[in-house]
Every structure is written in C-alpha cells, then in structure tokens.
Structure 1
Amino acid sequence: MSSPRACTFFDIDGVIRDVSRSYRRALADTVEYFTHGAYRPTQKEIDDLKAEGCWNNDWDGAQELIYRYFEQHGHQRHQVALDYDTLVTFFEDRYTGQNWSGYIQDEPLLVDLDYFQAFSTAAIAWGFVSGATRDSAEYVLKQRLQLHHPLLIAMEDAPGKPNPQGLICAYRQAIPDGDVPVFYVGDTVADMQTVVNARHAVPSRWYGLGVIPPHVQPADRPHYGDRLRAAGATAVFESTRDITPAVLDAVLGESAGHD
C-alpha cells in the first residue's frame, strides 16, 4: 500500500480471538493452583482487575490475584512462597500445552481474512499491537487467519500497555513518513489508556475504539462500555466486526465536526 489514508491497529485477545476459555481459563487455573484450591477468580473478578489498567499481562494478573488472596487472609506478600517463573511455566502448560495442544485450541475467531481485506481495499493500513507472546500471536494470525507477514508488535517487542511505545512503533513502521489518523481497537482499559498516552507522546490524530469482549454478560455490557469510555475510548462497539472502514470514516467526520 503506497499511501494509506489511515491506519488501524488491533489488540488480539478479546478482539481477534475469544480468550475466555483459554487465557482467562489458564489465569483462573493458575490462581486456583497457587492458592491451593481455595480461590478461583470469576470472569467478572478478572474484568475488575483489568479495569485497574495495569494488569494487561495475564502472568502478572494471576500473581496479583494470588497475592491479594493471601493478603485478605492475613499474610504479607513477602511471606507468600510464590516463584514467578514457576507460575509462568504452570500458566503456559495450561494455555499453550505441548505442540499447541492446550487451551489455545479453544479460541473462537472473531474476524476472518476478508475482514482485513476490506481495510486494504479502503487504503487503510492495518496491523496488531498485543500483549500476547509472539508465538501465540503468530499462531492465530498466520496459522489460523492465514495472514502473510502481518505487522505485529508483541510482548517481546515493547513494554506492556498502557505504555504507548509498542503502538507508536507500529505506527512508525506502517507510516514511516507523513501523518495520518491512527485507530487502535482494544477491549481493555489499558488499551484505551495506551491511546491516550500515545496522543501525549506523538502529536497525531489518535482514536481508541473499544470493543466489548464476548465473555461479558448482557447485563454487564453497558457498564463495561462505560469503563472503556472513561479510559479514553472515542467510541465503543459490541463486536470487532462492527468496526469497518465506513465506521472509521464516520468517526473521522464526527471528529472534524468538533474541531
């Protein structure tokens, strides 16, 4: 694409794939195991943790929930015998398994190859900025979606969100010269805060588009959307498929009307 008129970057977990039965299941398993079966967080409790905006990494999130459990039962963190590397190994045994045999197999895709082709046809560059490991991200992008050489910034490539470095790096790769509107599609408070932080770091037109992930129950979806807006989302959508080139044009038109 010689001269894209905009670029759109996507988070992966909860946006491109439904991770409620994979990453989140592995997180809950990990917390349950390291609290000796005493505590297993619910989906809502995991959402509440992620709403704090600083637990985008699920290994860190699991560790934090374990610490909080023991704190509630009178223990200080330094008293908890919890080795981070052992926690990560346990988590990945559940999530990845041997030869991708773990929970990663239980991830329904939320979009398909044609979805991205529509952006290319509309002269909108696209790519991915994710807190997932590169292996996990490439598994879904290359093997399952059949995308060839997708622009990807993964866990190993940049600090965790809401640090905007990964998003800014993706933008500079997609648009080495020039200035076009930038959209980031995400499903967490940290995703939206990343856009806000990028806006402060690099003068450009940055837009956070929130997606309510599939696991959120109907009664909780309005509140979840409100959280994303409060964190900086320009607009919130019920699914990733609702975000189309025409919708991006509408967002830009509405933004121009407010200038």
Structure 2
Amino acid sequence: MTQETSTKAAVVFDIDGVVRDVSNSYRRAIADTVEYFTKAAYRPTPLDIDQLKSEGVWNNDWEASQELIYRYFSVQGQSREELQLDYNAVVAFFQSRYRGPDPNNLTGYICDEPLLLQSTYLDQLTQAGIAWGFFSGATRVSANYVLEKRLGLQSPVLIAMEDAPGKPDPSGLFATVSQIENSIEQKSAIVYVGDTVADMYTVEKARSLDSARTWIGVGVLPPHVQETATRSEAYSETLLRAGAAMVLSNVQQLTPIQIQKLISRVCA
C-alpha cells in the first residue's frame, strides 16, 4: 500500500456480526424474549429476525424484541395500545439471558460468542498506516467485554449505545471518526464495516451530510446466513441494495491491499 493512500484511510467496525458471532447470543436472546412475552406461543426464527432487521430501523435488539412481540399480537387482533408492553421489563428479561442474572458478573450468552476477528488483523491495518475504531449499537459493557477482555485491545476508540443515537443516525459514526482524528491527520476516506441494512444506511446518511470525505460501506455476512448458498446470496443482495460497495464473508478479507483497491475504485 502506498503511504499516500494509507495516511488518508480509516476503517470503522461494527461489532455484532462483524467482530463476534451473535447468532447464539443476541439473536438467541431476542428469540427467548419474544417467546417469553408471547407465553411460548411464538419464537421467531433467524429468518424472522433478519426480515425485521432488513427494514433498516431495528438495530437495537431490545426494540427489535419488543417489535416482534407487538407484531405477533397484532396478527392475533390485539392493538399495541391494548398490550401496553413494559419496555423496561423487555430489556430486563433480554439482559438476564444475554448477560446473565448478575449484571456485575457476566455469565450469560455473551460468554460463548465466537470471535470473527483477531487482534493480529488490526495490527496489520496499523502497520499499513490505516487507522481504525469501533461504532456499535451494543452497550459499552458488552462492547468492552469483547474488545478488551476477549481481544486484548487497550482502550480502543469506541462509540457504543450509550454514546450516540441508534443507527441509521450517523452521529455515532461521525463521533468515532472524530476520536480517531484526535491523534492523527484528518482522513479523507472512511470505510464502515457492518452486517445490517442499518449499517449501510448509516453510511448513506453520513455521505449526505459530509461530502468532504469519501464514505464507503462494506457489508459482512454474519455466520448464521452462511449456512446455505441461497441465504448468503439473498443477504448479500440485501446489503448491496442498501448501499454496500462490496460484501465479504469475513471481515479479515478486508486487507490493507483490498482497502486501497476499494478506495481507488470508489474514487475513480
């Protein structure tokens, strides 16, 4: 990679589905929560959850859980006003599954998430002069658990759920880039790597608000959609239609050379 290109690029990563596999953690907690609040009448499938998230506005898994509950009862003829779901109760139940019953001692599904990225990959980006950071809808506790405890990163640049509005609002992406640029020169090309339609919409919105930089969305297929070629292809098409410049099966395929080629292609 040329120094000219590397000093201008930064990569921002989503976490869930990109850095860690959440198909048996966050998504399992969604299914558990919906099943509990529908009194075991409905447990959403992975495809049900994907279809909801393809709408581009359900990045928050607590809100996604609540929406699936509402939609189930709506089909049964009950209005949202009649249900009067307690959102805090939905969140509490979800967290009891995802984090575990003791919020100060993580013992839930979060403990069993396979990593999709190794710290050596981030070292390669650094050596190539590419800055990086994280913008995620996960809570700070959850995000730091995987970044610091699992990957061993030391105080990485991170904007989490508590720090910015939910995606596709690009405020958190802007804040991440701002933190990255606090210690280095301004980057003219920003690559955001995510696994959902909301992630790609976030890039589109960032581009519309800041034309001084080149904003590039890169999609990653979460592991649960890679079980069949049909689902992989359908999910890839969904991300491409939402604005992804390319779709990868694993984030580590986005090498420094690939980043250079991608920026050159987009800027051509």
Alignment equivalent of 1:210, drawn from 211, 219, 222? 219
Q: 1:1-259 to 2 correspondence within 5 Å?
A: 4-97=7-100, 98=102, 99-176=105-182, 178-203=186-211, 204-216=213-225, 217-218=227-228, 219-257=230-268
Secondary structure at the aligned position of 2:218 is classed as: strand
Gaps of 5+ in 2: 1-5
Structure 2 residue identity aligned to 1:214: P
Task: Please tell me whether the aligned partners of residues 9 and 188 of structure 2 are also in contact (alpha carbons under 8 angstroms).
Answer: yes
Counterpart of 2:3?
A: none
Q: What's the secondary structure of 2:132's corresponding residue?
A: strand
Q: Normalization by structure 2: what TM-score? A: 0.93
Query: Quick one: structure 1 residues 179 and 109, their matched pair in 2 at CA, closer, same or farther if it must change by over 3 Å?
Result: closer
After superposition, the C-alpha distances for 1:173-202 in whole angstroms (9 at most, x for unaligned) are 212453420000000000000000000111
Question: Is the partner of 2:252 in helix, strand or coil?
Answer: helix
Tell me, yes or no, if the aligned pair for 2:140 and 2:162 is still in contact at 8 Å: yes
Identity among equivalent pairs (%): 53
How far apart, CA to CA, are the structure 2 residues paired with 1:102 and 1:237? Answer: 29
RMSD of aligned alpha carbons: 1.1
Shift of 1:15: 0.2
Aligned partner of residue 21 in structure 2, secondary structure? coil
Structure 1 residue runs of 5 or longer lacking an equivalent are none
- After superposition, what is the alpha-carbon deviation per residue over 1:8-43, rounded to whole angstroms, capped at 9, x for unaligned? 000000000000000000000000000000000000
> How many aligned positions are there?
255
CA distance in 2, matches of 1:70, 1:57: 20
Amino acid at match of 1:208: G
Distance in 2 separating the partners of 1:12 and 1:255: 24
Residue by residue over 1:49-102, the C-alpha shift from the partner in whole angstroms, topping out at 9 and shown as x without a partner, is 000000000000000000000000000001114100011000000000131100
